[in-house]
Structure formats: structure tokens, C-alpha cells
């Protein structure tokens, strides 16, 4: 049987190029994850009551009518 000639330079170049693409996709995913995490934390901070100025309790609050 004859074996097909292997173009090692082409294979190595294709491997390097695919590794570059994979690394770029990974970096984009990590950047997106970090951006979404920051947005989620900002939204949670906006939804939480302000701990510096707590709401008055029932004894000191003005009566609701």
C-alpha cells in the first residue's frame, strides 16, 4: 500500500491558525462573561436597600392614611 504524502508544514500552519482562533474565541467569551457579571452585580447593588440610610421603623415613621 502506498501512503499519502503528508504536508507537515500545511498541517502545522493549520494547527497554529486554529489555536489562534480558539484563543480569540475564549478571550471573547471571558470578556463577555466579565461584562455580564459586572452588569449583574450593578443591578443587584441597585436593587438592595441602602445600608447607610436604613428605612425608619414603625415607631418613628409618619403614619400612613
For residue 20 the three cell numbers come to: 489562534
Report the pLDDT value the prediction gives residue 52, as an integer from 0 to 100: 54
Report the pLDDT value the prediction gives residue 50, as an integer from 0 to 100: 62
Give the DSSP H or E segment for 8.
Answer: helix 8-47
Read off the pTM. 0.56
What confidence tens digit (pLDDT) does each residue in 2-54 have?
666 778 999 999 999 999 999 999 999 999 999 999 999 999 999 886 655 55
Q: Is the pLDDT higher at 24 or at 55?
A: 24
Q: Is the pLDDT higher at 46 or at 59?
A: 46
**What are the domain boundaries of the chain?**
7-47
Report the pLDDT value the prediction gives residue 65, as an integer from 0 to 100: 53
Amino acid at each position: 500500500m502506498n501512503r499519502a504524502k503528508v504536508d507537515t508544514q500545511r498541517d502545522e500552519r493549520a494547527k497554529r491558525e486554529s489555536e489562534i482562533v480558539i484563543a480569540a474565541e475564549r478571550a471573547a467569551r471571558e470578556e463577555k462573561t466579565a461584562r455580564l457579571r459586572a452588569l449583574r452585580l450593578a443591578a443587584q447593588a441597585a436593587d438592595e436597600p441602602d445600608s447607610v440610610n436604613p428605612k425608619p421603623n414603625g415607631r418613628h415613621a409618619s403614619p400612613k392614611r
